[in-house]
Amino acid sequence: MMPAEVAAYFLKHQDLRLRLEFQIVLQCAPFLKGLRASSLIALEERLCGELPEFFRGTKVIWRILEVRKEKALVFFYRREELEESVNRPGIRRILGRFGYRGMGLEEMLDTLTERMDAPGREEKSFPHEIGAFLGYPAGDVEGFIRTGGRQYLAAGYWKVYQDAICAARTFRSFDDAKIYAVNEFLSGKSLREIVSEEE
């Protein structure tokens, strides 16, 4: 695993572009390496103008779901993979219960963006269906909704309510992707080069 000092060095670096690039590599590595269809990250809003250059020539798409206190919540995805993910039967059923019926992917993401910006939504809470867009297993999304995020079997990249053994394997593969991607970054590869290997 990468030493904490290395992460701290880059996350506090004076070069804002370098800091942003490292933050994306560190926090979105499983997505960047093709293990997930999407990823969600909070970035400084003023730095989001760098994103087009970072991902030029890749299949990565992003959209800002909300901005609060100069922080932008940015959703990264690959269209084909996310369409496949949200159309899995269990996930489609969950999304249908929250009103995402008869919609294409972009319309679903527009609806999610509206729900993120709903009046009265607490700053640290998300619409319950967000896990469905982040590729979490349907049983775990259902469990989270049913228990309000309590009584889970395990926690890692998400809270697990079914099949903790399978989730542990997935979490290990995500950790490995993070180490691999960060090492590529430390060896001098750009974010675009780190992504493009899996494109």
- Tokens of residue 15, six digits: 């070069």
Per-residue confidence (pLDDT) for residue 4, from 0 to 100: 59
For 84, the 3-state DSSP assignment is: helix
The Cα angle at residue 109 between residues 131 and 95, in degrees rounded to 5: 50
Average per-residue pLDDT in the chain?
90
Average pLDDT over residues 95-108: 95
Q: Sketch the domain layout of the chain as residue ranges.
A: 4-188
Distance CA 173, CA 19 (A): 25
Q: What is the pLDDT of residues 15-54, one digit of tens each?
A: 788 889 999 999 999 999 999 999 999 999 999 999 999 9
Q: What is the pLDDT of residues 133-175, one digit of tens each?
A: 999 999 999 999 999 999 999 999 999 999 999 999 999 999 9
pLDDT above 90: residue 107: yes
- What is the band of 12 on the pLDDT scale with cuts at 50, 70, 90? low
Cβ–Cβ under 8 Å, residues 110 and 65: no
User: What pLDDT score was predicted for residue 198?
Assistant: 46
Q: How much is the pLDDT for 128?
A: 84
Percent of the chain with pLDDT over 90: 79
Q: Is the pTM of this model over 0.85?
A: yes
- For residue 129, the SS3 value is coil
Bigger pLDDT: 141 vs 121: 141
